[in-house]
Structure 1
Amino acid sequence: MKPLEGTTPEQFVADFFTSYVQDVVHSGDDPGPLADRYYAPDIVQISDGMELDREGLLAHARTLRKNLLDCRFEVHEALAAEGRIAARFTIHARMRKGPAVAREVHMFGELTPEGRLRRVTQLSRTLPATAVRPEQEQR
C-alpha cells in the first residue's frame, strides 16, 4: 500500500480496505503474505475492546473468506497527519447467511512510512436495518 501522498485521506481509507478485502478475503492465496501488504508485522488492532495481533487478523480473514459475499466502504470523513489517520466510515456487507448489514466504524490508526497500519483502535456499531440500502438485499 502506498503512503498518503497524492490522495485524500478519505480515498486512502476506501482504497486500503477495499483492496484488503479483494486481496486477502476474496483471493484463494495464503492470506499471510497478502495481509502483510496492509499491516505491519507487529500490528495491534483493538476493535470494540477486543485486541487482535497479526495471527488474530489472519483468523478473522479466514472467517470472512467463508462467510462474506461482498462489501463496500463508504468513507464519511478522514484526517491524516504525521503518520496517523482517523476516519469514520460505514461498511455495507452481504454475508452468505442472513440479511445485508451496515456497520459504522470510528477508526484511529498509526501508519508505517510505507502506508501499512501498525496500530488501530476502532469503535463500531451496527446500524438499523433502515440504513441498509435495498439494492444490497437483492444481490
Structure 2
Amino acid sequence: MTARETTDARRFVAEFFTSFTREVTADDGDPGPVVDRYYTPDIVQTADGIRIDRARLVAHIRPVRKNLSDFAFEVHEALRDGDRIAARFTIHATDRRGRCTGTEVHLFGELAPDGRIRRTHQLSRTVRTPGTDGDGTPAEEAGEEGDGS
C-alpha cells in the first residue's frame, strides 16, 4: 500500500464520520434519511460485542443529539482495499455540560460500491482526554475543587 493510499484512507474515515456526525446532529428531525446516506439499509455494526442494525443505529442517535456539544475525529491509522476498510481513530467529544471524553475505536468494515458502510466490527475503549482531570472535567475546574493544586 502506498503512502497516498494510506492518506486517502485516513481522509475517507475522517470525512465520513465527521460529515455523518455533523449532519445527524444538525437538527431534531428524523435521522433516518441521514443514516441512509451513509449506511446501507442492511447495516450491521457489531460494537464491543453488541449487534446494531439500522433501527438501533437510528435510536442511538437520539441521545447523542441531545447531549453532544462538540466533537472531532482523530484518525491514527487507516487502510482501504477495495470494499474493505480498517481504521484506528479517537473520537473526542464534549457534552452540553462541558465534560470531555475520548474513545479510541478499532474498526474493520465493508463498504458498498457507493461508499456507504455495510458492515463493521468495532472495539472501543475510553482514553484520557488531554486537558481534563481524567473524568472528563476540564482541568481548570478540577483545580477549583481542591485537587491539591
Q: TM-score, normalised by structure 1?
A: 0.86
d(CA) in 1 for partners of 2:131, 2:20: 23
Consecutive unaligned residues in structure 1, runs of 5 or more? none
Which string of whole-angstrom CA distances, capped at 9 and with x for unpartnered residues, describes residues 86-135 of structure 1?
0000000001246201011000000000000000110000013xx3346x
Q: Give aligned-pair identity as a percent.
A: 55
Compute the RMSD of aligned alpha carbons: 1.9
Partner of 1:17: 17
Aligned-pair CA distance for 1:70: 1.1
Distance 2:125 2:130 in 1: 13
Q: Structure 2: where are the runs of 5+ without partners? A: 141-149
- Please tell me the residue identity of whatever aligns with 1:89: F
For the pair shown, the structure with the greater C-alpha radius of gyration is: 2
The residue aligned with 2:47 is 47
Q: Secondary structure at the match of 1:113?
A: coil
Paired position in structure 1 for 2:60 = 60
In the alignment, the residues of structure 1 paired with residue 19 and residue 123 of structure 2 have an alpha-carbon distance, to the nearest angstrom, of 21
User: Where does residue 35 of structure 1 map in the other structure?
Assistant: 35
Alignment of 1:82-97 (within 5 A): 82-97=82-97
Match of 1:70 in 2: 70
Q: Residues 10, 60 of structure 1: CA spacing in aligned structure 2 closer, same or farther, 3 A cutoff?
A: same
What aligned pairs does 1:93-112 form with structure 2 within 5 A after superposition? 93-97=93-97, 99-112=99-112
Output the CA distance in 1 between the equivalents of 2:63 and 2:85.
27
What CA distance in whole angstroms lies between the structure 1 residues aligned with 2:45 and 2:26? 21
Give the partner amino acid of 2:9.
Answer: P
In 2, are the aligned partners of 1:92 and 1:132 still within 8 Å (CA)?
no
Which residue identity does 1:53 align to in structure 2?
A: D
SS of the counterpart of 1:36? helix
Amino acid at match of 1:16: F
**Alignment correspondent of 1:132:** 130
